[in-house]
Amino acid sequence: MTTPTTETIDVPSVDNGIDLDALLEAREALTADPAAAAFVWTATCEWVNGTHSRTTIEPYYGLGEHHQHRQAFVIDGDHPQTFASEDNGATPTEIALAALAGCLTAGVASVATRRGIQLRRVTAVVEGDLDARGVIGADPDVRNGFGGIRVRFDIDADASRDELAAVVSQSQKRSAVYDALTNPTAVTVGLA
């Protein structure tokens, strides 16, 4: 039995700046050729001084070949003055929250477009709770990472509250960063 919850989607034309046809074509192409779907994302981080570091993002691999972003993107990471640092950049934990928000927001735009919902404004506020006793080594029973993360979407669009909740829900189901933060990932760290 198919469950009664599968929707048939008619797509009215909306313009959220998402190339829906390209996305749907890509899905078909990658279904047919799984090898092309193997992407490798790369970030290169240079220590500057103290807790200040600078990460450059430029090359990536996918669709069977190497690519370059249109330009190199640079992200400064540091700790705030609260931690006796110089505050030359966002803390890496905040950058992780930014990654989550960016990923979910891209998902919201894509899913909304797929469902024919015109967006006017989408704001996501992300809060991550972190007990600093973990990272500082004050209590071995306190984990280093976030105890919990909350994302609150404020969306202005021509859709009911339930429809928007469904868009936000679906964006979580398709988000790489949400997945990375909610599931264990094997991380190997070593010397070059």
What residues have CB less than 8 Å from 4, skipping those under 6 apart?
Answer: none
Tell me the two tokens of residue 30.
């990658």
Q: Given the rule CB under 8 A, which of 41-49, 67-75, 117-125, 166-174 is the region that contacts other proteins?
A: 166-174
- Indicate if the alpha-carbon torsion angle 78, 46, 183, 151 is positive or negative: positive
From residue 103 to residue 142, the character string flagging contacts with other proteins as x (rule: CB under 8 A) and all else as - is --------------------------------------x-
Select the span of 14-22, 33-41, 45-53, 159-167 touching other proteins (CB under 8 A): 159-167
Please list the helix, strand and coil fractions of the chain in percent, rounded to the nearest 5, in that order. 35, 30, 40
The phi-psi region of residue 137 (left if phi > 0; otherwise alpha if psi is between -120 and 50; otherwise beta) is left
User: Which range touches other proteins (CB under 8 A), out of 38-46, 77-85, 120-128, 171-179?
Assistant: 171-179
Question: Which of 153, 164, 166, 158 lies closest to 118, judged by CA?
Answer: 158
- Binds other proteins by CB under 8 A, chosen from 56, 172, 174, 176: 172
Question: Binding to other proteins by residue 75, rule CB under 8 A?
Answer: no
- By the criterion CB under 8 A, which residues form the site for other proteins? 1-9, 141, 143, 145, 147-149, 162, 165-166, 169-170, 172-173, 178, 181-185
